[in-house]
């Protein structure tokens, strides 16, 4: 393979090791090798970055319009920072790129001062591949400059709101660490613009704030929810005794928990809450519980009635559970899930809006003009000026999340990537027009979460994978062929139930010595010598195979079983470009193995960890 051969940017590193190789039967850690010297950044000083696309958006949770400025909006991407438009979504400009964080969970513009904008970093939709933040940021010049104002250890922020008459009073729903306990979580309040913060509502080190809203007519009335949740690589738990719904009558200084009176009994999970701008007595809540659903109060939260338990609004509750009341119509309310839904009869029934993309996480409705709506979803941010009938494009905001990227051997070369909750794609590195547009990128087979591997001999042949499913795509014929190792159906099955544990992100590579040879892995390594037409297993289970970490995920309320939580898997795989048949395998449970004879025997070379 020449110097312009296939290159791939991967999210793992390798440990150099030399010594005897033996068949691995049990972990036998070796001594740690010397650290690799750091790369001198001066080597790249002459290189310049340029935008090549794609121009479609990536996952976004937060969007906020500016009152009395119908064309001004902000949105926050979970991996793309904060963006602003001055022309109603026709063009978006990044305004947060100089900060050291790009994960955005919440945005709020001060109603009394449109130049004051607060941003909560770190997404609260805590997926297995979630990104965390570094606290709250503030701008006093409409997003031109930003300053971190605290809560750095919250990591994930679910919501923040600004007092309608005082831009210095802010309430933040701080979820806290996704993967472990910490103290900086709950509902925080500042009355001096972020100079100091007070924790005004908390439960314990495992429970954080997820939502907080004002009564639009009386900012002394505030509703908030706490959520007990924990993410582990092999499991996700949503719900526990820490979760609950709360009300404050003194602008968030003190709180009272709301229980009984029609609210569900037992353990609660995630809760979304909203107050109608048409009638302060009308409060809606979407509650994850054994008897959960959409609940409505007509007396300011004193008594509640369950008005809807449609499963469409309860699926994957931890990832969605967002509800928004219309500011002018007491019976109009919106619920977000895989679709964006609207009710005009007080949440008894809903219709699906023709919103762009799917998996919806954020909504903002203009308090004075409810036809002006902004939506944030897994495809980015879009705006409607007609109550959700039509929406602006998502193809003008390059905030896509890519799992891996690669290039081919064509001239000019193409860049490939697998985009979260979209498709994988290829992008031309240059064009005859001198500028790269949407015409220069194309779907390159199937899959959103794995690798894209072009054949170094013919760039039209592209391999890609998704949760263990492998596709061979011939671009010249626009034909796709399934060349998977094993028929797969992860839905509803824990890792312990399946024959092979293919993870959400499964390694896939062509041999640099013979591109007809392909490797992939589950708990073991597989090899194909005929570009995926047939496969053979070339290793035993290379993981710790801890059955306790292979159980169905989810609970204690809602099961959420996808291959994201499949554990004890080979997560990283690479063949030496120097020696054919020398293959390194790294597992998500911390083991490193190597073979020098193309899988006939494997050595456990896991280094000692500090």
Give the integer Cα–Cα distance in Å for 258 and 294: 15
Residue 476 in any domain: the answer is yes
Which residue is associated with the tokens 């719900």? 239
**What's the rounded Cα separation, in Å, for the pair 179 and 131?**
11
Instruction: Report the alpha-carbon distance of residue 187 to residue 201 in Å, rounded.
Output: 5
Residue 528 lies in a domain: yes
Q: What is the distance between the alpha carbons of residues 74 and 81, in angstroms, rounded to a whole number? A: 10
The number of folded domains in the chain is 1
Token pair in block for residue 602? 């494997």
pLDDT of residue 34: 65
- Contact between 206 and 183 under an 8 Å Cβ cutoff? The reply is no
d(CA 558, CA 30): 42
What token pair was written down for 340?
């964006």
pLDDT score for 5: 35
- Per the structure, the complete domain to which residue 442 belongs is given by 7-36+400-604
Averaged pLDDT of the chain: 92
Question: Tokens 């930003």 label which residue?
Answer: 146
79 lies in some domain: no
In a domain, 494, yes or no: yes
Q: Rounded to whole angstroms, how far apart are CA atoms 501 and 498?
A: 6
Residue 595 has a pLDDT of: 98
- Residue 233 lies inside a defined structural domain of this protein: no
Rounded-to-integer distance, Cα 278 and Cα 293, Å = 23
* Count of C-beta atoms within a 10 Å radius of residue 218: 14
Residue 509 sits in a domain whose CATH number is 2.130.10
Predicted confidence at residue 303, as pLDDT, reads 99
The torsion angles phi and psi of 95, rounded to 5 degrees, stand at: -125, 10
**DSSP symbol at 264:** P
- In this prediction, residue 33 carries a pLDDT of 55
Write the burial class of residue 139 (CB in 10 Å: 0-12 exposed, 13-18 middle, 19+ buried).
buried
- CB 514 within 8 Å of CB 527: no
Q: Which residue has the tokens 């229980």?
A: 259
Calculate the alpha carbon distances from 236 to 67, 148, 556 in Å. 38, 30, 9
130 belongs to a structural domain: no
Whole-angstrom distance, CA of residue 360 vs CA of residue 302:
30
- Do β-strands 479-482 and 508-510 pair in parallel, antiparallel, or remain unpaired? unpaired
Residues of the chain with pLDDT under 70: 1-34
What pLDDT does residue 356 have?
94
pLDDT, tens digit (0-9, with 9 covering 90-100), for 94-111: 999 999 999 999 999 999
Q: Tokens standing for 54?
A: 């794609």
62 found inside a domain: no
């Amino acid at each position: 393979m020449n110097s312009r051969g296939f290159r791939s940017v991967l999210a793992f590193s390798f440990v150099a090791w030399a010594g005897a190789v033996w068949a691995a039967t049990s972990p036998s850690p070796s001594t740690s090798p010397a650290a690799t010297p750091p790369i001198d950044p001066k080597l790249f000083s002459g290189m310049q970055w340029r935008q090549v696309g794609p121009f479609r958006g990536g996952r976004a949770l937060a969007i906020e319009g500016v009152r009395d400025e119908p064309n001004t909006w902000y949105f926050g991407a979970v991996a793309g920072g904060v963006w602003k438009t001055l022309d109603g979504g026709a063009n978006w400009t990044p305004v947060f790129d100089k900060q050291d964080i790009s994960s955005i969970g919440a945005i709020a513009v001060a109603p009394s001062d449109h130049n004051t904008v607060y941003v909560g970093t770190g997404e609260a939709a805590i997926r297995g591949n979630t990104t965390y933040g570094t606290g709250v940021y503030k701008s006093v010049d409409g997003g031109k400059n930003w300053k971190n104002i605290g809560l750095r250890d919250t990591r994930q922020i679910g919501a923040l709101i600004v007092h309608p008459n005082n831009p210095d009073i802010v309430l933040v729903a701080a979820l806290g660490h996704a993967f472990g306990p910490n103290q900086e979580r709950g509902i925080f309040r500042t009355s001096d613009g972020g100079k100091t913060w007070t924790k005004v509502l908390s439960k314990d080190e495992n429970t954080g704030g997820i939502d907080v809203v004002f009564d639009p007519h009386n900012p002394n009335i505030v509703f908030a929810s706490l959520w007990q949740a924990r993410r582990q690589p092999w499991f996700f738990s949503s719900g526990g005794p820490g979760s609950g719904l709360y009300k404050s009558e003194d602008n968030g200084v003190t709180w009272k928990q709301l229980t009984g009176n029609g609210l569900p009994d037992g353990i609660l999970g995630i809760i979304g809450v909203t107050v109608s701008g048409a009638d302060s007595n009308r409060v809606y809540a979407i509650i994850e519980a054994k008897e959960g659903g959409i609940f409505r109060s007509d007396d300011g939260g004193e008594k509640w009635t369950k008005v809807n338990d449609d499963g469409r609004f309860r699926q994957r509750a931890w990832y969605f559970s967002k509800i928004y009341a219309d500011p002018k119509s007491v019976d109009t309310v919106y619920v977000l899930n895989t679709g964006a839904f609207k009710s005009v009869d007080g949440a008894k029934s809903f219709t699906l809006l023709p919103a762009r993309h799917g998996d919806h996480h954020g909504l903002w409705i203009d308090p004075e003009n409810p036809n002006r709506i902004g939506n944030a979803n897994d495809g980015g941010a879009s705006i409607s000026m007609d109550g959700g009938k039509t929406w602006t494009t998502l193809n003008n905001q390059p905030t896509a999340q890519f799992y891996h990227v690669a290039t081919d051997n064509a001239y000019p070369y193409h860049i490939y990537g697998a985009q979260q909750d979209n498709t994988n794609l290829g992008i031309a590195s240059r064009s005859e027009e001198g500028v790269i547009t949407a015409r220069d990128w194309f779907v390159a087979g199937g899959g959103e979460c794995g690798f894209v591997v072009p054949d170094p001999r013919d760039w039209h042949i592209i391999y890609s994978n998704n949760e263990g499913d492998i596709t061979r795509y011939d671009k010249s014929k626009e034909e796709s062929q399934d060349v998977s190792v094993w028929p797969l159906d992860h839905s509803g099955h824990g890792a312990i139930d399946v024959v092979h544990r293919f993870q959400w992100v499964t390694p896939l590579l062509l041999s640099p010595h013979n591109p007809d040879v392909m490797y992939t892995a589950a708990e073991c390594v597989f090899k194909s010598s005929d570009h995926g037409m047939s496969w053979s297993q070339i290793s035993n289970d290379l993981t710790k195979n801890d059955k306790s970490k292979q159980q169905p995920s989810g609970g204690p309320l809602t099961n959420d079983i996808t291959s994201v939580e499949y554990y004890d898997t080979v997560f990283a795989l690479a063949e030496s470009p120097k020696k054919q048949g020398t293959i390194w395998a790294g597992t998500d449970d911390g083991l490193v193995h190597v073979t020098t004879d193309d899988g006939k025997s494997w050595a456990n070379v896991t280094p000692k960890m500090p």
